[in-house]
Amino acid sequence: MPVKRLNKREMLAALAPLLEYPNEHYKEVLEDSCTALMERCPEACATLLKFKKEIDCLTKEDLEEIYTRTFDVAPVSSPYISVHLYGDENFDRGNLMATLAGKFEERGFKNDNELPDHLAVLLRFSEYLTDEELDELVEHCLREPLENMLKALKGTKSPNLFYFPILSVRELIDAGHF
C-alpha cells in the first residue's frame, strides 16, 4: 500500500506524539512517524532511526522515567516554548498562552492535558494552520526554542535521548519545506 505524501503541517503533527509523555504505543508511533517523513525529509527520518535504535531495548517505564527527567522534574530542558522566548517569570508567557488558547478555540483544536505552549501541542496544532500561519509559528515561536532545547539536551554527558525527536523537528523545518 502506498504511503500518503504528507504536507508540512501533517509532517510536524506526526512528530508531536514523540514529544509527549510516552504511552504503550510510543514505539509504534515512532515507526509511523519515521515512515511519514521518509520520502519528504530523509534527514529527519534518519535521526528518528537513531532514536529508535537507542530506545529499542527500553521499556515503557524506562522511557517514562527519561521523559520525566528531561521535561518535568528538575528538567534538563523545558518543553514550553514561552520559557525559551521570555524566561520563567515573565507576564508575556501568560499573554502568549492566552493568545494560543484563543487560536485553538477559534480553529476547533482540542488541547486537553497540556499548557498551550508545549512543543508537542504546537506541533499538533500546526495541522490547523495555513502555510503562512505555520511559517509565522515556525519563525516566531519554534526556531529559537528548538535551538535552546537542543543545546541543553546535547550539553549533558551524552545527548539526552529526547534530543533526537527535537532534532528531527528542526531538520524538518530546515529542510526547506517551510
User: Would residue 161 count as lying in a domain?
Assistant: yes
Which whole number is the average pLDDT over 57-71?
94
177 has pLDDT over 60: no
**Predicted pLDDT at 156:** 67
Flag whether 86 is in a domain: yes
More reliable by pLDDT, 177 or 112: 112
In a domain, 131, yes or no: yes
What's the residue count for the chain?
178
* Helical residues (DSSP H) of the chain, grouped into ranges: 8-15, 26-38, 42-55, 60-67, 81-86, 91-107, 119-125, 131-137, 143-154, 163-172
Q: d(Cα 53, Cα 158) in Å, to the nearest integer?
A: 15
Query: Which pLDDT score is estimated for 81?
Result: 96
Q: Tell me, yes or no, whether 107 lies in a domain.
A: yes
The answer to the question of residue 64 being in a domain is yes
Q: Is residue 81, in this structure, part of any structural domain at all?
A: yes
Whether 2 is covered by a domain: the verdict is no
Any idea what the CATH number is for the domain that residue 89 is in? 1.10.3480.10
pLDDT tens sequence across 113-169? 899 999 999 999 999 999 999 999 999 999 999 999 999 999 766 779 999 999 999
Query: Looking at the predicted structure, is the pLDDT value of residue 16 above 50?
Result: yes
Q: Which range of residues forms the domain containing residue 113?
A: 8-177
Per the CB < 8 A criterion, the answer to whether 9 and 110 are in contact is no
Q: What are phi and psi of 118, to 5 degrees?
A: -65, 135
Is 1 part of any domain? no
pLDDT of residue 1: 46
Cell numbers at residue 91, please? 507576564
Percent share of the chain, pLDDT over 90? 76
Number of domains in the chain: 1
Average model confidence (pLDDT) across the chain: 91
Does pLDDT of 89 surpass 50? yes
